[in-house]
Structure 1
Amino acid sequence: MCVLIEQWNFYLSGILYGIFKKQEGRIYHRSLDVYTGQLTDWQELEEKYTWYHELGKMDVWEALSRLEEFEAGAQGCLAEAKDGSAAKSSEAAAGSCPRFVTSQGEIFEKKSETEFVQRNIKFPMDLILESGRITAFVTPYRDQCAVLVKAGLEDRTILKQWEEINRTPIYSVKPPETVMIPMRDQVCLAADIYLPATAAKKGDKIPAVLIRTPYGKRTGASSYFRFVQRGYAVIIQDVRGREDSEGEWLPMYHEVEDGDDTLNWIGAQPWSDGNVGMTGGSYLGYVQWAAAASGNPHLKAMLSNVCAGSPFIDIPRRGGCFNSGMLAWAFIVSGLRTDPSLMVRDDWDEVLDIRPLEKLAPAALGYDIPFLKKWFEHMNYDKLWKMGNWKERTGAHRVPALIMSGWFDDNGMGTTEALDLYHDYQEKKVILGPWKHSGNADYDIHGFALGNNALRYDMDLICLSWLEHYLKGVENGIDRTPKVEYYTMGTNQWKTADNWPVPGTGQLLLYLDGSYENAGRDNLGCLSACAPAVPSSDSYIYDPQKPAVHLVDMSENELEVPGDYAAEEQRPDILCYSTGILSQDLTITGDAWAELYISSDCEDTDLVVRITDVDECGRSMKLADGVISVRYRNQFEFPEFMKPGSIYPVRIRTTKLSHTFLKGHRLRLTITSSASNFIFPNRNTREGFNSVDMRIAHNCIHRGGTAPSRVVLCRE
């Protein structure tokens, strides 16, 4: 009897990287040798083999070894739904769709008759079915997507959309050459150069993709092979002072000039056609905007993902406060080489309480972090910080940019700055999803369930199309697609717009109100459409030794995740203002501003505002937030301290959002003066967050009359 052996193919960004077959309970594979362009000989795929996971965050061995279990679960779920016992609309909100649970506790939820998504996990392994049989596994991750599919059924997946691009050759990769690139001050930065093998032999001139990183040029290098295989030179460079590069590691300080010099070096190489694009996320996004600020003519395209912004708007000094949450990042880049283990600790609460802050790193790590110490020495916005402000340093020159971020990105204010800068520039595309800093990778974030369409399988296709158009001149239509694509939470819809802020949205003003003085402190403050005529106020005591908590896990290094703040809002130092129960859905899309009037018996204090969605059960899920040190309410260069008895207007910009507050829910604004795990508590003195001395502040938020505190929203 002849047994038919099915072949499975593994693709990343439309490129075949491996083929597989199951035989007599074992899995065999042939992986792509990117340096020869050939598949290796058949060999058994062992559980510990990590190549495919390194490429695409998918455990291929797990998928194929448990194929029958996943298939049985999906078939059972579909059968129940067909019988009517669990029938739900495939468009229903997350959590209301039929699902099955595996023997290992994984949860798969029905998206449609042919799709299941994996819930409650980072880097899900979604299922695609045909006639009840699994035909493909799909794992999206930030700007990549891995597909494991039965051979011959590629067109049932996102791979069908790659057909046009895949008509061009796939090149093998020439092994990297490490070079030292000189900067204008004679410091040399190490870079690995990857070239398409054929182009290297022929001497063809080709466009380049530049990645500048503080995390090590070999770390994750395989994820950039896809650009080399598509005919680009790839240059991965250690930024100044990191890994194999020379010079001092001072984050953000040198990146405009070093980016400019590196681009000029690339443009002068014999293999370069003079056109360069940049890609990467977080700090790797920051360096793109820094390079663009130099006005360098070689930079023709950017793939900006969750980019860090200017120091006093984003990190490390958001709103003039000091972002304590970024210490996890500072620790992992504290040595010459990146060490992710340094951010995982169970004593973060104790570490964050160390004062003065100059003693924090030596006490926690046993050695100093020079850049952190230097940051602590510069309290106000001075030359040190100005050097790293790419937005301020950008002139009239613009670079076509694909701008990607998420509502829960802890560098979201960096993307806000990019959107402000590019508001009137047409050669841009913006994609804003319901994602955290790690990007397009979760259907559930800290108990906040997103819809089954929250993740996208086409981000890498869009990225490559952007480079093909702006670096190679390919007329693929990417420049004619919608300028903005964004996801509205609550109704779980992807939408398009011509710009950001979304044209046609109307301003919604909600004023702080209450039926009596200090109603906000009792969690009974109101948000009213009309400004109260009669002045009133809500006061609270802020004790720096007992700060309110920002609900994050420091070791996760994700600082803007949603969370249920209902219990935290019972604290007497958190003021709460809520709308009435909504009689119809309310969609808010855009930035928000809290315009507050404050008085205090201290010279300085911080203000922390949050916008939350309160459901019928009382859960208060954080959607957006903003912070400011009141001394910097007008500008960041020179502190303006408060005088007791005086009332001061303060305007706080929050992170972006697009969310539908459903009928029966309430919109809430909360105000406090601390957020441990997010910002170092202001000690309410002139020394602020780094003060050894502490004062208890009696803070008062005024409302109504001549001090109409309010929140300004954008309503769709």
Structure 2
Amino acid sequence: MIIDDLRDRLLGAVADRLIGLGESRTTRVVIDRDLKVPMPDGATLVTDHYRPVEVSRGPVVLIRTPYDKSNLLGRAYGLALARRGLQAVVQDVRGTFGSDGEFEPFHHETDDGLATLAWIREQDWCDGRVGTAGLSYVGYTQWAIGPYAEPRLSAMALGITAADFRPTFYPGRSVGWQLLLDWSSGIGIQDSGTRLEKLGLKRRVAAAMTTLPASRGTRASIGQDIGFLHEILDHAEPDDQFWDFLDHGRDLAALDTPVSMLAGWYDIFLTEQLRDFTELQRAGAEVRLTVGPWWHGDRPSVGPIFRDQVDWLAGQLLGDRAILARRPVRIYLQQAGRWLDFDSWPVPAEPRDYHLDADGSLITEIPATEAIRAFNYDPADPTPVDGGAPLGIPGGQVDNRTVERRDDVLTYQTATLADDLDVIGDASATIFVRTEHSDADVFVRVCDVGPNGRSLNVIEGIRRLRAADEPIDDIGTRKVEIELWPTAYRFRAGHRIRVQVSGGGFPNYIRNHQTGESISDAVRTAAGRTQILHGPEHLSRIVLPIFR
């Protein structure tokens, strides 16, 4: 047991100032480092316990991380919570850093988390009340125990995460390739890699994106196979039930735990996190939501995440209800530069159809005649995508004009908008296609085109077609329903709305080889023609929620 040293006191003070946490309740924190928490199978997980020096017994916040409890983020969590009167337990999950066992991502978090929770409640410094905090995978470790804890957790603070990770692994029945190769490579060297290896990781991962077969991706990026990547690729078929255990949102109505969520409009977990919020809200749970203009890991999001979580936990566990006095939903309206508060999500909005016309226009009227446009998609030169929702590299909005000039991308756009148009809520696309191969992807991206011609991406979605996706007629027409990201965005007067339709968005989404072979093992590629149908009998369109 030690009283925090000068380094910790300085870190706590600097973090408070940079993050904007406000006045601390104490500047002295007692830290017990490297406690050995026993698991039922005999493994021990190393754990740090932070306690305000004035507190001998009280509520505790549990943070379980695969990224090193002793790194800057782990220590900042422990110190920030303790300086505000809360105890914190920060633990390295199984197989990471000092904890026993093998790190098998996601597989042990429920059993180990519940065992750790039981251990905490047995300690004389815990009064029985336990909350949780963290973001991304550290949010998953919360969901892995929240629905199963008895007694229930006293509060959960969930940053950029979701109760079910499967849709993030497999967006639109494709594979989130950039996300998964980046993360698999990172966890592969986080314990053992040299400083030089870690500094060059992003460059090597980017170079490895084109590796074939995809199952060799981490061998190309870090020189070793990572089992997690093989699990993802080997279980990518829609009817594969291997990852069913990841779904901790099957009965959110019974959660009975106050929850705060923070998300980003370009975050990899956005769609699922909003679903979690909506289901909890419908069940009458005490839940609040904040969505900002961030991508996953965006530095401007760090302060809001910390403030949201520390304030929520202090309000719930220490009775400081004044901190909680805000409406349940707070969202940032992009391009309007302001935050909006609501009582629920989704907000009241009118769905509006924008039809794709064969002349390249995007119109609210139904096109007068049937017509076809087509592009040729070649997996050997996959249609690229930039920005959006990647992991570990900058995301969000980028200029799409270079991609839109490619001959494997079709574009459609509105006339110049006479007035500002606010789009808030869920969006979708319906595209009628005929593809040369039964296996093909349809990728849709909606952009904001300014008077200077710059085309900035706003929302997108993908749908992978397989042989099992039957045509709706005898000439191979298939109706493709695509879920687009939710958003809150102002298309300003003088701008245009543009829609891209293509055969992929590489490397954010793994390329479709169009051969029907396994995603994991495919090497051969087959170029093919995709036709887009337009007209009164084939209403290819996007649907946007218009907020007034």
TM-score after normalising by structure 1: 0.69
User: Residue 515 of structure 2 is aligned with which of 649, 671, 685?
Assistant: 685
Once the two structures are superposed, what CA deviation does each residue of 1:591-647 show, in whole Å capped at 9, x if it has no partner? Answer: 21112222212121122211110000110001122122123xxxxxxx724569322
The alpha-carbon deviation at position 694 of structure 1 amounts to: 1.3
CA distance in 2, matches of 1:580, 1:184: 65
User: Residue 312 of structure 2 is aligned with which of 460, 466, 488?
Assistant: 466
User: Residue 419 of structure 1 is aligned with which of 265, 271, 277?
Assistant: 277
Preserved CA contact (<8 Å) 1:597 1:709: yes
Partner of 1:657: 487
Please state if 1:190 is matched with 2:46: yes
The 5 A counterparts of 1:316-355 are 316-326=169-179, 327-335=181-189, 337=191, 341=198, 344-348=201-205, 350-355=207-212
CA distance in 2, matches of 1:640, 1:660: 39
The answer to which structure, 1 or 2, has the higher relative contact order (CA under 8 A, 6+ apart) is: 2
SS in 2 for 1:567: helix
The alpha-carbon deviation at position 660 of structure 1 amounts to: 0.8
Once the two structures are superposed, what CA deviation does each residue of 1:471-514 show, in whole Å capped at 9, x if it has no partner? Answer: 23333261x41111111112211111111111x22212212123
Preserved CA contact (<8 Å) 2:236 2:519: no
Query: Quick one: which amino acid aligns to residue 176 of structure 2?
Result: N
Partner of 1:572: 407
SS in 2 for 1:362: helix
Once the two structures are superposed, what CA deviation does each residue of 1:182-241 show, in whole Å capped at 9, x if it has no partner? Answer: 445554433222223333xxxx43111111111111112331212112222211111222
Partner of 1:481: 326
Preserved CA contact (<8 Å) 2:426 2:486: yes
Preserved CA contact (<8 Å) 1:608 1:628: yes
CA distance in 2, matches of 1:234, 1:667: 48
CA distance in 2, matches of 1:711, 1:238: 45
Partner of 2:124: 270
Partner of 1:494: 339
User: Residue 509 of structure 1 is aligned with which of 353, 362, 367?
Assistant: 353
Preserved CA contact (<8 Å) 1:507 1:713: yes
CA distance in 2, matches of 1:684, 1:468: 53
Q: 1:55 to 1:170 in 2, by over 3 A?
A: closer
Partner of 1:441: 300
Preserved CA contact (<8 Å) 1:601 1:645: no
Once the two structures are superposed, what CA deviation does each residue of 1:122-166 show, in whole Å capped at 9, x if it has no partner? Answer: xxxxxxxxxxxxxxxx74xxxx337xxxxxxxxxxxx5xx5xxx5
CA distance in 1, matches of 2:199, 2:232: 20
Q: 1:661 to 1:232 in 2, by over 3 A?
A: same
The 5 A counterparts of 1:295-314 are 295-308=149-162, 310-314=164-168
Query: Quick one: which amino acid aligns to residue 102 of structure 2?
Result: E
Partner of 2:527: 696
The 5 A counterparts of 1:255-294 are 255-294=109-148
The alpha-carbon deviation at position 303 of structure 1 amounts to: 1.5
The 5 A counterparts of 1:34-45 are 36=3
Once the two structures are superposed, what CA deviation does each residue of 1:11-61 show, in whole Å capped at 9, x if it has no partner? Answer: xxxxxxxxxxxxxxxxxxxxxxx96479x6xxxxxxxx9996797579xxx
Preserved CA contact (<8 Å) 2:152 2:257: no
TM-score after normalising by structure 2: 0.89
Partner of 1:640: 468
Query: Quick one: which amino acid aligns to residue 365 of structure 1?
Result: I
The alpha-carbon deviation at position 568 of structure 1 amounts to: 0.9
CA distance in 1, matches of 2:165, 2:305: 28
* Higher Rg of the two aligned structures: 1
CA distance in 2, matches of 1:553, 1:701: 24
Query: Quick one: which amino acid aligns to residue 217 of structure 2?
Result: L
Once the two structures are superposed, what CA deviation does each residue of 1:353-403 show, in whole Å capped at 9, x if it has no partner? Answer: 222223222233222112222322223253421111222365622421111
Q: 1:558 to 1:660 in 2, by over 3 A?
A: same
Q: 1:50 to 1:297 in 2, by over 3 A?
A: closer
Partner of 2:496: 666
Partner of 2:506: 676
Partner of 1:607: 442
CA distance in 1, matches of 2:418, 2:426: 24
Once the two structures are superposed, what CA deviation does each residue of 1:220-270 show, in whole Å capped at 9, x if it has no partner? Answer: 233121211222221111122222223332222332333333222222222
Preserved CA contact (<8 Å) 1:614 1:666: yes
Query: Quick one: which amino acid aligns to residue 415 of structure 2?
Result: G
Q: 1:215 to 1:370 in 2, by over 3 A?
A: same
CA distance in 2, matches of 1:652, 1:338: 41
Query: Quick one: which amino acid aligns to residue 489 of structure 1?
Result: Q
Once the two structures are superposed, what CA deviation does each residue of 1:668-701 show, in whole Å capped at 9, x if it has no partner? Answer: 1211122222122110122254311211121122
Preserved CA contact (<8 Å) 2:433 2:477: yes
Q: 1:53 to 1:711 in 2, by over 3 A?
A: farther
Preserved CA contact (<8 Å) 1:264 1:298: no
CA distance in 2, matches of 1:417, 1:251: 23
CA distance in 1, matches of 2:482, 2:305: 32
Preserved CA contact (<8 Å) 2:204 2:221: no
Preserved CA contact (<8 Å) 2:252 2:280: no
CA distance in 2, matches of 1:380, 1:484: 36
Q: 1:57 to 1:211 in 2, by over 3 A?
A: same
CA distance in 1, matches of 2:307, 2:165: 32
Preserved CA contact (<8 Å) 2:390 2:508: no
User: Residue 390 of structure 1 is aligned with which of 245, 248, 256?
Assistant: 248
Give % identity.
27
Q: 1:653 to 1:54 in 2, by over 3 A?
A: farther
Once the two structures are superposed, what CA deviation does each residue of 1:539-590 show, in whole Å capped at 9, x if it has no partner? Answer: 1111001111111599971364211001210111112111110011101011
CA distance in 2, matches of 1:272, 1:328: 38
CA distance in 1, matches of 2:469, 2:341: 44
SS in 1 for 2:397: coil
Structure 2 portions without partners, runs of 5+: none
Q: 1:241 to 1:563 in 2, by over 3 A?
A: same
Structure 1 portions without partners, runs of 5+: 1-33, 41-48, 59-137, 147-158, 443-454, 516-524, 632-638
CA distance in 2, matches of 1:338, 1:711: 47
Once the two structures are superposed, what CA deviation does each residue of 1:315-365 show, in whole Å capped at 9, x if it has no partner? Answer: x22222122212222211114617581663435454122222232222332
Preserved CA contact (<8 Å) 1:602 1:685: yes
Query: Quick one: which amino acid aligns to residue 465 of structure 1?
Result: D
The alpha-carbon deviation at position 414 of structure 1 amounts to: 3.8
Q: 1:53 to 1:471 in 2, by over 3 A?
A: closer
Q: 1:254 to 1:702 in 2, by over 3 A?
A: farther
Give the paired residue count. 536
Preserved CA contact (<8 Å) 1:531 1:704: yes
Partner of 1:449: none
CA distance in 2, matches of 1:172, 1:228: 9
